[in-house]
Amino acid sequence: MMLLTDDQKMLQETAASFLTDEGRPAQQLRHWRDTGCSDGFGTALWTQFGELGLTSICIPESQGGLGLGATEAALVLEEIGRNLTPSPFLMSAVVAARAIEGTAHGERWYPRILGGEAVLTLAVDEGPRHDPETIALEARRHGNGFVLNGSKQFVVQGASADMIVAAARTEHGLTLFAVQKDAARVENATLVDGSKAARMRFDDVALDADAVIGEVDGGWAPLSRALNAGRAGAAAELVGVAAGVSAMTFDYLKQRKQFGKAIGEFQTLQHRAAHLYGEIEIARAAALKAAQLLDSGDDKAELYVSVAKAKAADVAQLAAREGVQMHGGIGMTDEHDVGLYMKRAAVLEELFGDVYYHRERVASLSGY
């Protein structure tokens, strides 16, 4: 696994301390879920992300950010996954920030992201599975602007977003558009882990030419940049989910007693715990390597991003299943946090492509 610099270690420690101080794992998640919050996260906590400078990681120095990269974002996202912290960090400060990089929209929205004042998201999926190659949302020229017709699914925090980066099909390719809040019809949905995602319907949504992000018909490059950042980030968060639930499980193995001794002394459970620990370390190494290659602009970055996303999703599900089984009956209850890790892993696996999508992508990028 790659060695972290002193600055990266400091960032990791800052994020861990901040997110842990918010309470026990899943405390924030439970609060916003059980109070029926339409956002699924706390705006005050998002503002604190800005105050700590965490929102500035992927924003260029020329725009007031830290000008760091996917590696530093991965360190924060692993801690977010470990604590099940509900926040728009991945979608706003990583994915959308990368999509609008180098455009006038970046100049407009970066200051608000930096302050934790705005929520942005990406609208790309249209069917039951992630498949950006088949985007069908139509953007038809109308006067000096465009008219959007079509729909999007699984738009994470779509109902809370101040601006949606929407990928649409134009005459000769793909174009990204900045769609303002309330421009589309939105159906807010609660996902299995308590987070929010929206279904959006665009019926003759008129946009002026200034809504174009980048170049008309040139949207595939910024979309790919945003998707790769999101996939690497989701992989890191999945590693955090796996690490969080496994730490809880390992503690339980030391405390729970059967037949007069801790169940962690039974060799079968020791073997399973050792196997899980090794798998988490492999997933972490893959996630950090993918982020590092993205930051360096390596030609193999896309391949390694898919490797990391598939591996991390597999390992997070393994950690969650082992956690439920080793906790026994209590692991099946909503009162215990272990089940929340399983639900979060399921949502993150689907985000930006599931295991099967990325296995196929690895095969394709490898020439098979």
Q: Tens of pLDDT along 228-237?
A: 999 999 999 9
Give the mean model confidence (pLDDT) for residues 274-279: 96
Q: Which residues pair with 142 in a beta bridge?
A: 145
Give the mean model confidence (pLDDT) for residues 9-33: 85
- pLDDT-derived band of residue 24, with 50, 70 and 90 as boundaries? low
Residue 126: pLDDT over 90 = yes
Residue 1: pLDDT over 60 = no
- Cα separation, 152 vs 360, in Å, equals 23
pLDDT of residue 201: 97
pLDDT of residue 260: 81
Per-residue pLDDT of 155-192, as tens digits, reads: 999 999 999 999 999 999 999 999 998 999 999 999 99
pLDDT of residue 29: 87
Place of tokens 């089940």: 339
Mean pLDDT, the chain, integer:
94
Per-residue pLDDT of 200-225, as tens digits, reads: 999 999 999 999 999 999 999 999 99
Side chain identity, residue 80: I
More confident call, 155 vs 26: 155
Q: Among 3.30.2320.30, 3.40.50.1950, 2.40.110.10, 1.10.1740.10, name the CATH number for the domain at 122-217.
A: 2.40.110.10
Q: Confirm if 32 and 41 have CB atoms less than 8 A apart.
A: yes
- Cα separation, 38 vs 35, in Å, equals 9
Most confident listed range (36-45, 147-156, 264-273): 147-156
Residue 23: pLDDT over 80 = no
The domain defined by 221-365 carries CATH number 1.20.1440.230: no
What angle do the packed helices 220-255 and 70-83 form, to 10 degrees? 40
The domain defined by 6-119 carries CATH number 3.30.470.20: no
Give the mean model confidence (pLDDT) for residues 146-158: 97
- Residue 79 neighbours by CB under 8 Å, 6+ apart: 12, 15, 16, 19, 85, 240
Residue 22: pLDDT over 70 = no
pTM beyond 0.85: the answer is yes
Q: Confirm if 144 and 209 have CB atoms less than 8 A apart.
A: yes
- pLDDT-derived band of residue 328, with 50, 70 and 90 as boundaries? confident
Q: What are phi and psi of 297, to 5 degrees?
A: 70, 25
- Cα separation, 28 vs 49, in Å, equals 14
Q: Confirm if 76 and 15 have CB atoms less than 8 A apart.
A: yes
Provide the token pair at 126. Answer: 């249209």
Q: Which of 282, 296, 134, 302 is nearest to 230 (CA)?
A: 302
- pLDDT-derived band of residue 199, with 50, 70 and 90 as boundaries? very high
What's 273's DSSP letter?
H
Q: Which of 248, 275, 274, 250 is nearest to 263 (CA)?
A: 250
Per-residue pLDDT of 37-84, as tens digits, reads: 999 999 999 999 999 999 999 999 999 999 999 999 999 999 999 999
pLDDT of residue 240: 97
- Residue 95 neighbours by CB under 8 Å, 6+ apart: 121, 122, 226, 227, 229, 230, 233
Residue 285: pLDDT over 60 = yes
pLDDT of residue 330: 78
Q: How many percent of the chain have pLDDT more than 90?
A: 84
More confident call, 269 vs 279: 279
CA distances to 18, 52, 166, 220 from 14, rounded to whole Å, are 6, 9, 33, 35
Query: In degrees to the nearest 10, what's the CA dihedral of 149, 127, 163, 198?
Result: 110
DSSP letters spanning 5-69: PHHHHHHHHHHHHHHHHT-STTHHHHHHHHTT-SSSS-HHHHHHHHHTTGGGTTS-GGGTS----
Q: Which of 84, 16, 82, 18 is nearest to 244 (CA)?
A: 82
pLDDT of residue 21: 65
Q: Confirm if 185 and 178 have CB atoms less than 8 A apart.
A: no
- pLDDT-derived band of residue 331, with 50, 70 and 90 as boundaries? confident
- Cα separation, 160 vs 223, in Å, equals 21
Per-residue pLDDT of 338-360, as tens digits, reads: 999 999 999 999 999 999 999 99
Cα of first residue to Cα of last residue in the chain, in angstroms, is 28
Q: Where are the domains of the chain?
A: 6-119, 122-217, 221-365
pLDDT of residue 269: 87
